[in-house]
Amino acid sequence: MGKMYINGEWVKSKTGETRKVINPYNQEVIDTVAEGNREDTIYAIQAARKAFNNEDWRQLTGEERGDLLYQIAQSIRKERDELARLETLNTGKVLTESIGDIDGVANVFQYYAGLADKDGGSVINSPNPNSVSRVVREPVGVCGLISPWNFPLLQLSYKVAPAIAAGNTMVIKPSELTPLTTIKLIEIMEEVGFPSGVINLVLGQGSTVGQEIAESLDVDLVSFTGGTETGRTIMQAATSNFKKTSLELGGNSPNIIFADAQFETAVDYALNAIFFTTGQACNAGTRLLVEKSIHNEFVNELVKRAKNIRMGDGLDPETEMGPLVSAAHLNNVDNYIQIAIEEGAELAVGGKRPEGETLQKGFFIEPTIFNHCHSKMSIVQEETFGPILTIETFDTEEEAIQLGNDTRYGLAAAVWTEDTNRAERVVGQLLAGTVWVNDFHINFPQAPWGGYKQSGIGREMGKEGLEEYTELKHVYKNTAPQPMGWFGNQ
């Protein structure tokens, strides 16, 4: 049974409650894990606070913390196959995607291992002679790290690695649906060796464990990745002590195709942009905007290929697309499809559960494309988080930009054109944290990741992702102090 890790020990929940972890491909139980609640969370927060005040952790140098991170990266590489297998069993995503995720996790730990000893602060200009003024970065304190189910370990690594690099302690809360690779990561970290209480893992629901983290007066920073509405609740709860808040939220990314784009490559990437991870990527290319002159040809090709996508068990090398993560999510996605039809979107392919005996137990939905959509439709405005592509058309560059930005989200966007000047003009106008030119999905630890508008606050990865986990301190030293004689000096 998967346990929680609090104050350097593997523990059951205080109530003894457990939760079954399900394989979304066949609904089989993969494991049973502890189900924590508020009381367990409070205990973990206290352990993290004690560890933060403990010299064993506070006295470690950046170089030493970097070394711990480097060892974690190495262990992840050794355990790559097992971690990837677990991720696929728990999420349903195809194994090659999980392998890519786990490689990404190792790269994130390695990147922050390298950054941990790089920032020694800076000396700034002081207006006074005989003084030294410097600015240093210090850890924030106890961090609450709340992660989602779609890239369980990868999204968590964006938080854990910089939090350690900066010298914080933490309470980690993975999604209740996908805790298995996180448990394995904690095993790896325990083996690498951290003082008790530096890393704590509490398993359980968002409304209890997550809410306690967000509300607690003893948590100094909350970093959350998940849905925009949950982010709103967390931000409100975090006002309890005005804790630092980093939010990586939803997206509804435009993928803009100009008529001069390389046709075959743009079609190929448009499919990948939406159907990768069964459309359950925050930055999925959900809104395809195609220049009118190539619209028919482009859609025909997309539909032809979408029909051929092989659904199945993520562990089967023949599978191209796995199931959705849960029955509840399947229901959400199905609802969006019905609403789209009611609102008059033209269903070009998919839109239903697949046939075939082997797919009946899994939470599958066919790759779905809606043609002739417009901005007022719910399916265009809302994040469906499933394998559903909407298609709109444009005539001019200005119209493409206007449609691309016609959303409350601003996580990512892509533009496809052979005209480099046009690409730059469009990039400059799109309101998104990442813009790809003639590419999609790519992200790596050196580049900051995060959203404009309602896609979030703050950035993960890059050096900016480390700064999120620090407080800035200005230190002013008078090197020749003299009495001022300001008060009572008659």
Ligand X SMILES: C[N+](C)(C)CC=O
Ligand Y SMILES: NC(=O)c1ccc[n+]([C@@H]2O[C@H](COP(=O)([O-])OP(=O)(O)OC[C@H]3O[C@@H](n4cnc5c(N)ncnc54)[C@H](O)[C@@H]3O)[C@@H](O)[C@H]2O)c1
CB crowding 148-160: b at 16 or more within 10 Å, else e: bbbbbbbbbbbbb
For the question of residue 248 being annotated catalytic, the response is: yes
Binding site for ligand Y (CB under 6 A): 146-151, 155, 173, 175-176, 205-207, 210-211, 214, 225-227, 230, 233-234, 248-251, 282, 383, 385, 411, 451, 455-456
Measured CA distances, 157 to 153, 187, 209 (Å)? 6, 14, 19
The listed partner (ligand X, ligand Y, none) that binds 234, CB under 5 to 8 Å by sort, is ligand Y
Q: Tokens 């049973």 label which residue?
A: 32
139-158 mask for ligand X (x: CB under 6 A)? Answer: -----------xx--x----
Measured CA distances, 96 to 73, 293, 306 (Å)? 19, 36, 19
Query: In 3D, which of 301, 282, 109, 253 has the Cα closest to residue 188?
Result: 109
CB 158 → ligand X: shortest distance, Å?
Answer: 8
The listed partner (ligand Y, ligand X, none) that binds 173, CB under 5 to 8 Å by sort, is ligand Y
Closest-approach residue to ligand X (CB): 282
Residue closer to ligand X, measured from CB, 312 or 465: 465
Residue closer to ligand X, measured from CB, 281 or 299: 281
The DSSP letter of residue 277 is G
The rounded distance, in Å, linking the Cα atoms of 297 and 264 is 11
The rounded distance, in Å, linking the Cα atoms of 309 and 226 is 28
The rounded distance, in Å, linking the Cα atoms of 52 and 29 is 37
277-306 mask for ligand X (x: CB under 6 A)? Answer: ----xxx-----------------------
* Catalytically annotated residue among 35, 176, 248, 397: 248
The rounded distance, in Å, linking the Cα atoms of 59 and 65 is 10
Residue 443 near ligand X by CB under 6 A: yes
Residue 258 near ligand X by CB under 6 A: no
The listed partner (ligand Y, ligand X, none) that binds 206, CB under 5 to 8 Å by sort, is ligand Y
Residue closer to ligand X, measured from CB, 282 or 377: 282
CB 129 → ligand Y: shortest distance, Å?
Answer: 48
Residue closer to ligand Y, measured from CB, 226 or 367: 226
CB 244 → ligand Y: shortest distance, Å?
Answer: 15
394-433 mask for ligand X (x: CB under 6 A)? Answer: ----------------------------------------
The three-class DSSP label of residue 5 is strand
CB neighbours of 241 closer than 8 A, spacing ≥ 6? Answer: 216, 217, 219, 220
Angle at 175 between CA 174 and CA 177, to 5 degrees: 130
Q: Which residues bind ligand X (CB under 6 A)?
A: 150-151, 154, 281-283, 443, 449
Name the residues annotated as catalytic: 248
